[in-house]
Structure 1
Amino acid sequence: MPDSQTAALSSGLRMSVMRLARRLRNQRSAELGLPLAQLTALATLDRNGPMSPGELADCEHVSPPTMTRVLAALTGAGLVERTPHPTDRRQQVVSVTEQAHELLEADRRRRDAWLATRLAALTEDERAVLAAAAPVLAQLAEG
């Protein structure tokens, strides 16, 4: 069981990270207009490259039938394309279209600009603390 300092850090960090994530989500452009499941699947494909629907379902921690519905909607919107698997013709590989990539990049730039503005308002020491914490936060998110 964590000591009281660790418990307090845990609570404060959880609340701060959740609020920051919410603020960043709120900066997302309305033009994307995608439900969260579709948006995260699209972002995963854009970040990791083409993969099978089953691999994408595993990455997104959803069931294959759920991913099938997500991919059907994204394909219908022209944001995902399907191609035959290179070694197993029974399977398909899905990837983002150029349109989807451009939408996601514009959205990332917009949210990065918002965060950069917020970071610029901090002191140099505060930014240094965040720079040192970033790898630790990434490590926490991994595991």
Structure 2
Amino acid sequence: MEPDTLHETATELRLATFRLARRLRSVRPIDRRNAAMSDAQLAVLGALRTHGRHSLTALADRERVTPPTMSALVTGLEEQGYVIRIPDEVDRRRVHVEITPDGEAIVVATFERRTELLKAEIVELGLSDEELQTLHTASILMRKLAEQ
């Protein structure tokens, strides 16, 4: 791929991803106790639901935030009953974080609402089968890029 084409692709991907993420974030988490759950907190819950129990350090690394930031996010989620801290059986100074059933319920409901929004917008575009396949393939590549 030529440098100009690579630059243009990266620019278009950045712009599209930013706009799409903003649209999805407009669908706020359904949280009867705290309507102001942050996207960062929802991301932590999503990571715990998908990948299971993590140490604070591993969770900070996964979400690409500093350990103090992760500690603050987890403290807020713990206060709301969405995660619990579990002391490490070998090293008592180390703590693991696990999602609770209430935390799982928030993630499932919010992610489903966001998926339904995307589905409706895809239908509204009236994409052909070929375009839908291209979008599917692109989504797989975008996930690889995001998880790098």
TM-score normalized by the length of structure 1? 0.86
Equivalent runs, 1:1-143 vs 2, <5 Å: 3-29=3-29, 31=31, 32-121=35-124, 122-143=127-148
Write the letter of the residue equivalent to 1:9.
Answer: T
Native 8 Å contact 2:54 2:97 kept in 1 = yes
Root-mean-square deviation over aligned CA pairs:
1.9
Question: For residues 29 and 142 of structure 1, do their structure 2 counterparts lie closer, same or farther at Cα, with a shift above 3 Å needed?
Answer: closer
Percent identity over paired residues: 33
Partner Cα separation in structure 2 for residue 131 and residue 41 of structure 1: 25
Q: Which runs of 5+ in 1 are unaligned?
A: none
Quote the Cα distance in structure 2 between the aligned partners of 1:44 and 1:138. Answer: 14
Paired with 1:104 and 1:123, the residues of 2 have a C-alpha distance of 31
Which stretch of structure 1 is more off in the superposition, 50-59 or 61-70? 61-70
Displacement of 1:96: 0.9
Against the structure 1 CA distance between its residues 97 and 30, is the aligned structure 2 distance closer, same or farther, given a 3 Å change threshold? closer
Q: Give, as a single letter, the amino acid of the residue that structure 2 aligns with 1:92.
A: V
Find the aligned partners of 2:18 and 2:129 in 1 and give their Cα distance.
Answer: 24
Counterpart CA distance in 2 for 1:136 and 1:116 is 19
Number of equivalences: 142
Instruction: Determine helix, strand or coil for the equivalent of 2:117.
Output: helix
Structure 2 unmatched ranges of 5 or more:
none
- Alpha-carbon deviation of 1:30? 5.5
Which aligned runs of 4 or more in structure 1 are off by greater than 4 angstroms?
none
Provide the TM-score with structure 2 as the length reference. Answer: 0.84
Distance 1:133 1:35 in 2: 28
Q: What's the CA shift for 1:115?
A: 0.9
